[in-house]
Amino acid sequence: MIRIGIVIGSTRPGRVGESVARWVHDLAVKRGDAEYELVDLADYALPHLDEPLPAATGQYAREHTAAWSERISSFDGFVFVTPEYNSSTSGALKNAIDFLFAEWADKAAAFVSYGVDGGARAAEHLRQVLGRLKVADVPAQVTLSIYADFEDFSVPRPAPQHEERLTAMLDQLLSWATALRPLRV
Ligand SMILES: Cc1cc2nc3c(=O)[nH]c(=O)nc-3n(C[C@H](O)[C@H](O)[C@H](O)COP(=O)(O)O)c2cc1C
């Protein structure tokens, strides 16, 4: 079965990212078409990139990198749940991406962004970064407004059309994750 990691791109105390990722996960698991797992960056406590060699070498000196590598290797595709910080994604997520290389390649990705303006700029930056890593990013996207789609700016209450967009996005993600799998065997 295809395995999809739903990456919580925020590590901030009081983050809303975790509840957004849980909304995604709850809807995704009901589909029954893949294994969907939450991947919490906070669980890995990655420092600022501290590997002596570039990730493209595949030679890791740190235990935290090995643990992160093992987890990411296990997936066929990803939903990146990203906040928008100063018109980009979080530093924590960019750093976590930079730790690895081959683990991302020839896999599919989709984005659920959120922020004052829906976080679209964060997702655009992520698309650029992931393109470098040979990740296939699907066009369908979910953008949630902190004002319109959250209760008290913290509890997700997305308008109904967002569920429809999430469904379309996951359809595309599953198709591409499945299509890319043979490239990696
Ligand atoms: C450092 C920082 C920068 C932010 N910059 C933006 C921004 O450029 N655009 C935007 O729409 N929202 C911005 N916001 C609002 C965040 O998108 C919003 O607070 C969101 O809840 C952050 O995600 P998190 O709670 O999961 O950390 C910023 C928030 C922080 C903490």
Q: Which range is least confidently modeled, 49-58, 77-86, 152-161?
A: 152-161
Mean predicted confidence (pLDDT) in 149-159: 93
Q: To test the ligand 1 pocket, which listed residue (116, 125, 152) has its Cβ within 8 A of the most ligand atoms?
A: 116
Q: Identify the band that residue 171 occupies on the pLDDT scale cut at 50, 70 and 90.
A: very high
Residue 85 has phi, psi (to 5 degrees) of: -115, 120
Compute the distance between CA of residue 82 and CA of residue 108 in angstroms, rounded to an integer: 16
- The gap between the terminal CA atoms of the chain, to the nearest Å, is 15
Mutate which of 15, 86, 124 for ligand 1 pocket (most atoms within 8 A of beta carbon): 86
Confidence at residue 185, expressed as pLDDT on a 0 to 100 scale: 82
The percentage of the chain sitting over the pLDDT mark of 70, rounded to a whole number, equals 100
Spatial separation of the C-alpha atoms in residues 166 and 65, rounded to whole Å:
31
Report how far ligand 1's centroid is from the alpha carbon of 18 (Å). Answer: 14
Residue 43 DSSP symbol: H
Give me the mean pLDDT over the 146-155 stretch: 94
Q: Is the pLDDT of residue 50 over 90?
A: yes
Report the pocket of ligand 1 as residue ranges, CB < 6 Å. Answer: 10, 12, 15-17, 83-87, 115-117, 146
Residues 122, 9: Cα–Cα separation, whole Å: 11
